[in-house]
Structures are given as structure tokens and as C-alpha cells.
Amino acid sequence: MANTSKRMKFLREKTEQVGKVSLDKAVEVLKGLNDQLPKGIKPVKFDQTVALAFNLGIDPRQADQIVRGSIVLPHGIGKSQRVIVFAQGDNAKAAQAAGADAVGAKELADRILKENWLDFDVAIASPDMMGVVGPLGRVLGPRGLMPSPRAGTVTQDVATAVKEYKAGKVEFRNDSGGNVHAVIGKLSFDTQKLLDNANAMVAYLNTVKPSGAKGIYVRSVTLNATMMPGIPVGV
């Protein structure tokens, strides 16, 4: 714990010295933080997840100002996501062929409800399965796992959806404070790959600006890693 506190204090001081910087500079700084740790303070052992945090000028209480979407990043996110699919017949066969981790209909829904099985990252459903999926809303909704047409997880083309999420498709939605957190990769990614992913996310977020949002849309952006302080970004 002492090493963790010393490490975070040191890293926080370093990022505060940098202040608000461009996105490419922020990626460069984040990538180099571990190299600056003094002797006696060790970096964390796992490959940290890198993310962008946006504070948006929206009113989350208004249905027409919800910000939600999904994007296949240029270089993926460095993680193979566990994908389940609610489908039957030819759609089920297509989902299995595409690499889904579990495919089913009512039996899959029952497994989630009765066994509290949630060992997956993404749930996809064909439109004809929504009668089966609907009752799962109270379980999957709060966890951000409920299939949605807007996010592209309710689709007739389940095979493409499976392949995209397996390749690192990122799904996001604003929270009650108007914030959006979006994973863009791993700290082990080289600088250019992280920058490509970050730029793609920023550009895409601007395309889903709600028509009801007034004033400044993107109020602030921060780049961070799992066990590192955020770096303010000017975009």
C-alpha cells in the first residue's frame, strides 16, 4: 500500500507539472510516466487499460440528450471480449460460426436469470429475440449489458456484430453526470496506435452530439490509465 501511495503521489505531481496538453502530447506523457519512476517505486505489473473521459454539456435527464454509441477502433482495445448472442435457427448458426462464446434463446435467458450468470462482456440479440431478452432488462440494464438497437447490439446481422465486438468494438453511454468513459486500448500499445484510437473516439463522439444539447458540447477531456492519474487534454 505504501508503494502504491508513493507511486500515485509521484505520478500525480508529474501530470500536474504537464498541465493541459494536446492529445498527442498527452499520449506521449502517459506512455512515459512509468519510465520516470524513481528507484524504489515499482510500476504496476499488469498491462493497464487506457481510456478517455469526457465531460459533456448535456442534460442527462432529457431523453433527447442521451449520448450513446459504439465504434470499432482502428487498432482494437487489446482485449478479446466475451460475446453472447440471443438467436435461433440460421442466425444462431451464423453467430456460432462468427465466434460467439455462447448462443441460445430462452435457455440462455434462463441461465442469466436463474443462475445469475453474467460471465460475458457483450450481449447481442436478433430482433425476433426481444420477447425473450426483454425480461432481462432489470439484470442487464444496470450493468450496461442490455442489447440495444442504438448501440448496434440488436441486429439481424448477428455475425458481423460478433466479429466487430471480438475485434474490439467499444460501446459507451453517458452517466448521470454527463460523463462518457471510453476505453481506447492498453498501455503496451505503441504511441501511434493509442493516438489513432484516441482521435477516432474524439471524432466519433462529435458525430453523436444530441440535437437538444446547447452551448459547449465537450467541456473537458482527460486521458488516463487504470492505475495512473488523468492528464487534461485540449481538443
**Confidence check: pLDDT of 2 > 60:** no
Domain that holds residue 157: 83-167
pTM: 0.78
Please provide the distance, in angstroms rounded to a whole number, between the alpha carbons at the two ends of the chain.
35
Residue 178 and residue 162 share a domain: no
54, part of any domain: yes
pLDDT at res. 78: 87
Of 144, 167, 190, the residue that ends a domain is 167
For residue 122, the cross-strand partners are: 83
131, part of any domain: yes
Of 167, 192, 214, the residue that ends a domain is 167
Q: What are the residues whose beta carbons fall under 8 Å from the beta carbon of 133, sequence distance 6 or more?
A: 86, 109, 123, 125, 146, 147
pLDDT at res. 193: 96
4 compared with 209, residue with greater pLDDT = 209
**Confidence check: pLDDT of 122 > 70:** yes
pLDDT digits (tens, 9 = 90+) for 90-102: 999 999 999 999 9
Residue 228 and residue 116 share a domain: no
pLDDT at res. 206: 94
DSSP 164: H
Residue 177 and residue 119 share a domain: no
Residue 94 and residue 120 share a domain: yes
CATH number at residue 87: 3.40.50.790
Of 126, 152, 167, the residue that ends a domain is 167
pLDDT at res. 1: 44
CATH number at residue 43: 3.30.190.20
Q: What is the percent of the chain where pLDDT is above 70? A: 98
pLDDT at res. 42: 86
Residue 34 and residue 63 share a domain: yes
**31 pLDDT tier (thresholds 50, 70, 90):** very high
**Confidence check: pLDDT of 107 > 90:** yes
- Which three-class secondary structure state does DSSP give residue 180? strand
Residue 214 and residue 191 share a domain: yes
pLDDT at res. 81: 86
Cell of 134: 426483454
Total domain count for the chain? 2
Q: How large is the greatest C-alpha to C-alpha distance in the chain, in angstroms?
A: 60
Q: Where are the beta strands (DSSP E) in the chain?
A: 49-56, 68-72, 83-86, 102-104, 122-125, 169-173, 179-186, 218-225, 231-233
Residue 195 and residue 132 share a domain: no
**144 pLDDT tier (thresholds 50, 70, 90):** confident
Residue 156 and residue 119 share a domain: yes
2, part of any domain: no
Mean pLDDT estimate for the chain: 92
Residue 221 and residue 160 share a domain: no
10, part of any domain: no
pLDDT digits (tens, 9 = 90+) for 152-197: 899 999 999 999 988 888 889 899 999 999 999 999 999 999 999 9
pLDDT at res. 6: 87
39, part of any domain: yes
7, part of any domain: no
Residue 72 and residue 33 share a domain: yes
51, part of any domain: yes
Residue 126 and residue 87 share a domain: yes
5, part of any domain: no
pLDDT at res. 37: 87
Residue 36 and residue 142 share a domain: no
